[in-house]
Amino acid sequence: MTITTNFTHHQTAHCESGAVANLISHHGVKMSEAMAFGIGAGLFFGYLPFLRLNNLPLITYRSIAGSIIKRVTKALDIEVVSATYRNQAKAMVELDQLLDQGIPVGLQTGAFWLPYFPKAYRFHFNMHNLVVVGREGNEYVISDPVFPELVRCDRHSLMKARFAKGTMSPKGKMYYFKDVPPCDDFAPLILKGIESVSNAMLKTPIPILGVRGIRFLANRMEKWPRKFGLQRANLHLGQVVRMQEEIGTGGAGFRFIYAAFLQEAANHCHHDELLALSARMTEVGDHWRHFAVLAARNCKGRAEADEGYPAIADKLRQCAQLEESIYLDFRSLYS
């Protein structure tokens, strides 16, 4: 038995914005990943040392998992049906029923149990998003946004992935779109998205979030070698890079996606200012990448004398400085 939903798969850089963009496009409103990321106000920063991943502090470069979907669908007035489950069998049966009706279904899953993931990426990480687009007997056809082609996954593994446990466990979460109204003017949604990002990064109630969070991390980072010893400090630093570059494309990646969004937004809003801001955001992304290179050199013990912890902390401060000026300039767009 073969069931398909005629879903067009586009590979994207980030799972959540990719899944939601592909789903919205499937329902007739053409939307790029960058646009979904921007309208969904995905850009963020947070240093959360009290949350642990592999015993090291959690750093996030984007807004909390699920918020992009929530914001985009709300902005476009899309009716979303979503559910979480206690009963695993029931969660699979309801997924099957939707597929039978030809509806592609978005899932939040863990990465560890997905057999098609390369082994090096299989950590207990629960914020992955994918879209199930068909089924062949016991095998599901999946549009995983970060993979180049459609992938396949057996029923047992998919069930395990849907009910992965640990931090932010998905609890079988699935969602699909019921009613997607046509939308031909993104401009107001774009400006609203930009405003949310600007506020989230600048008006932070606690010092570990937003631009303040980047500076906070820089200050802490400088003290790591003294506090933990060089070896453990390097592990912390590696974690920062790993969170930045790997887990869902990370910091620099997100800055580039956002720059792409600003560029696309310039077409929609007819605002040349946005093009200049896009170029500046690209520059910030480049600095984040440079930071990752320096950090990796430190981890390998190959850093030059002037590339040690004070230097990388300064690099972070530079990122914070540049980002802050961009977010401040965002204000002129919507006020």
Partner 1 sequence: MLEKDVPQDDGMAEGLESVCYAVDEKGDYVLVPSVGWDAKQVANDQAWDLINEEIENVRQQVLLGKKSILAYHMVKKLMDISLLAEYVGFSRLKVWLHTKPGFFARTSANVRQRYAQVLEISVEELTDLAQLESNTK
In this chain, which of 13, 141, 312, 316 binds partner 1, going by CB under 8 A? 13
Enclosing H/E stretch for 52: strand 43-53
Taking a C-beta distance cutoff of 8 angstroms, is the pair 181, 173 a contact?
no
| Shortest distance (Å) from residue 46 CB to partner 1 | 19
In the complex, minimum distance from the CB of residue 81 to partner 1, in angstroms, rounded to a whole number:
27
For partner 1, which stretch binds (CB under 8 A), given 8-16, 86-94, 127-135, 312-320?
8-16
- Nearest Cα to Cα of residue 244 among 279, 274, 284: 284
The per-residue b/e assignment along 166-186, b for 16 or more CB within 10 angstroms, e otherwise, is eeebbbbbbbbbeebeebeeb
Q: Closest by alpha carbon to 248, among 72, 9, 13?
A: 13
68 is a site residue for partner 1 (CB under 8 A): no
DSSP character string of 137-183:
TTEEEEE-TTSSS-EEEEHHHHHHHHT--STT--TT-EEEEEE----
Residues in 194-253 at the binding interface with partner 1, rule: CB under 8 A = 234-235, 238-239, 241-242, 245-246, 249, 252-253
For partner 1, give the closer residue by CB, 141 or 247.
247
Number of residues counted as binding partner 1 (CB under 8 A): 47
146, 12 contact by CB (below 8 A)? yes
Place of tokens 């309208």: 39
- Between 37 and 175, name the residue whose CB sits nearer to partner 1: 37
Find the shortest distance in angstroms from Cβ 80 to partner 1: 26
Minimum Å distance from CB 104 to partner 1? 21
Q: Which of 264, 269, 320, 322 binds partner 1 (CB under 8 A)?
A: 264
| Dist. CA 270–CA 187, nearest whole Å | 9
Please, which residue, 168 or 202, has the CB nearer to partner 1?
168
Least distance in angstroms from the C-beta of 233 to partner 1: 12
Q: Which residues of 258-292 are buried (b: 16+ CB within 10 A; e: fewer)?
A: bbbbbbbbbebbebeebeebbebbbebbbbbbebb
Q: Which is nearer to partner 1, 126 or 196 (CB)?
A: 126
Q: How far is the CB of 153 from partner 1 (least distance, A)?
A: 15
Contact 122, 247 (CB under 8 A): no
Question: What part of residues 268-307 is at the interface with partner 1 (CB under 8 A)?
Answer: 278-279, 282, 285-286, 289, 292-293, 295-296, 299-300
Q: Based on CB atoms, which residue is closest to partner 1, 18 or 73?
A: 18
DSSP H helices, the chain, are 15-26, 33-39, 67-75, 88-100, 155-162, 187-202, 210-228, 230-245, 250-269, 272-299, 309-334
Between 70 and 289, CB nearer to partner 1 = 289
How many residues are given for the chain? 335
**Pick 128 or 212: Cβ nearer partner 1:** 128
Q: CB of residue 251 vs partner 1: minimum separation in angstroms? A: 12
Residue 120 corresponds to which tokens in the numbers above? 């090096």
Site for partner 1 in 128-187 (CB under 8 A): 146-148, 165-166, 169
**Residue choice 7, 61, 112, 330 for contact with partner 1 (CB under 8 A):** 112
Question: Which is closer to partner 1, CB of 181 or CB of 229?
Answer: 229
Residues 245 and 292 sit within 8 Å (Cβ to Cβ): yes
Which residues would be at the binding site for partner 1 (CB under 8 A)?
A: 11-13, 34, 54, 112, 118-121, 123-124, 146-148, 165-166, 169, 234-235, 238-239, 241-242, 245-246, 249, 252-253, 256-257, 259-260, 263-264, 278-279, 282, 285-286, 289, 292-293, 295-296, 299-300
